[in-house]
Amino acid sequence: MIRAMVRRALERFPAKWVPVRVNKTRQNKKREPRSDLVGAAKALVLAAAFAAALTPVPCLGESSKPLPAKATQELPAELLALLEQKKMPKYSPIVVRLFKEEAELEVWKQDTAGRFQFLKTYPICRWSGDLGPKLYEGDRQAPEGFYTITPELMNPNSNFYLSINLGYPNSFDKANKRNGSFLMIHGDCWSSGCYAMTDEQISEIYSLARDSLSGRPSFQVQAYPFRLTPANLARHRNNPNLAFWKMLKVGNDHFETTGREPKVDVCNRRYVFDAQPPANSPSPLVFNPNEKCPPFVVNPEITRRAQEKQRADERVYAQLLEDNVPAAPIYSGLDGGMNKAFLAKFPGRVTLAKVMPYASYLPQLPPIPWIDNDGSLTSKWFGTSFSGPVVCDAARASFPTGRC
């Protein structure tokens, strides 16, 4: 791991050749300076890591220094026109939705009626790990769940162009003893536990996020393994994460049926959505992620809409099981994914996983063919395309500030 981090650091910050006087030997008859490249590289890496550990991340709105131009640039004219067309004020709130299997990032934005409407889809250039939540530092898994992004999590000085820290682990992750750090949405199309976009894409996403934080404390990111449709859940019915994904689906359904950002709480080590105190409650709700949930109710209109969708989805799901729709492998054997839109630009990045996060309790699967004749991933299993080598999760522990 250390060698990989040094190599990555050298790629981004090439060491200078340091002249060092050497003794005259039979092999070195001329007294010429040599280069202590390895020593210089180690010194640079260690110094950077040490300084990073002592220096706070210069985040959005925290530094007295002027922000770099890439963090302050205006949205493209085409996107501003789209906002006007969809009646979405420039500074209205956003919700970001991530879908691993489809390798897509969606931005939804609040319109003048106060509802969140779909704005734009950005194909994800790279995500790492497998379907399923992040469990521990270094497992290369990109997080799944509901995350709150505050201005302090926006990094305008990222070495991956621009980055948005997901704030992992959140209170749910901590309650379930999951750990990891520096999990981002960022540019550069390289990832190890992150959702990586191209620099052009993250420029737009960052600007939308920045504008949405004008005058408000946060926005929400919803990270899913795939679109939580009955068909996808039926394909992944054998996955040990199915119960977790069905829990996420409750929040997903609240959002999709109401056009409102779901209020997220955690109690009894579970997500709870849109909870409010019962009528005539003498005190406000207090949620402890590790303790039993307090009595609460959900707005009847939200409940009605979400339950209607849930019942309809369950009928379709049951029919798919009756039809014995083929089940996807529990473990793909691949290290993450890439949207097919980037296959031609970044060829050869589909690799076998270096880490098997579920190997301790999942059966070993035989090798699987992951490329079709047309160069795309086997659609009957995944329906999208996957890709290659990466850096951002465990390495960030040694390069904390501004590195991701």
Secondary structure (3-state) at 12: helix
Of 125, 186, 392, 404, which one is the catalytic site residue?
A: 186
Contact 255, 274 (CB under 8 A): no
Residue from 59, 125, 189, 194 carrying the catalytic annotation:
194
Neighbours of 379 (CB within 10 A): 12
Tokens representing residue 103 in the block: 């390798």
CA 86 – CA 109 distance, rounded (Å): 9
- Number of alpha helices (DSSP H) and beta strands (DSSP E) in the chain: 9, 16
Cβ pair 105, 124 in contact under 8 A: yes
Q: How far, CA to CA in Å, does 116 sit from each of 94, 106, 220, 250?
A: 8, 12, 12, 17
321 to 232, 310, 348, 381: CA distances (angstroms): 12, 16, 36, 16
Chain centroid to CA 35: 40
| Of the candidates 252, 368, 374, 372, the residue with the CA atom closest to the CA atom of residue 310 | 252
69 vs 9: CA distance, rounded Å? 24
Q: What is the DSSP letter of 341?
A: G
DSSP reduced 3-state for 152: helix
Whether 194 is catalytic: yes
155 within 8 A of 58, measured Cβ to Cβ = yes
Query: Which positions are annotated as active-site residues?
Result: 186, 194
